[in-house]
């Protein structure tokens, strides 16, 4: 917006004809672009949050497998080996 385009309290816009309207249109266009960028950023953050939570869940499942299933299978293998020795 030009420096000489000001709004006076009682006289309204003292710009050249059509200049205030074009400045208002530019301002509305800029605000629309800002809202669009913010909406895309919010959508991106939601997707990033979903992806991060999915990675955390997969990591927890993997850790539970390592700390629960692997030792349990070692116990079963040891018990089976003992059964083989007992049967001989």
The CA dihedral of 42, 43, 47, 52, to the nearest 10 degrees, is: 0
CA distance 66 to 44: 33
Strands (E), 1-88: 7-8, 12-13
pLDDT band of residue 76 (cuts 50, 70, 90) is: confident
Backbone angles phi, psi at 12, to 5 degrees: 80, -150
Task: Report if pTM > 0.85.
Answer: no
* Mean per-residue pLDDT, 70-81: 79
Tens of pLDDT, residues 19-72: 777 778 889 999 999 999 999 999 999 999 999 999 999 999 988 888 888 778
């Amino acid at each position: 917006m030009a420096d000489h385009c000001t709004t006076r309290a009682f006289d309204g816009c003292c710009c050249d004809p059509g200049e205030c309207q074009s400045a208002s249109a530019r301002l509305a266009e800029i605000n629309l672009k800002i809202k669009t960028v913010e909406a895309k950023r919010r959508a991106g953050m939601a997707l990033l949050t979903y992806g991060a939570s999915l990675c955390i869940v997969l990591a927890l499942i993997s850790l539970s497998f390592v700390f629960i299933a692997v030792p349990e299978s070692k116990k079963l293998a040891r018990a089976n080996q003992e059964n083989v020795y007992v049967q001989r």
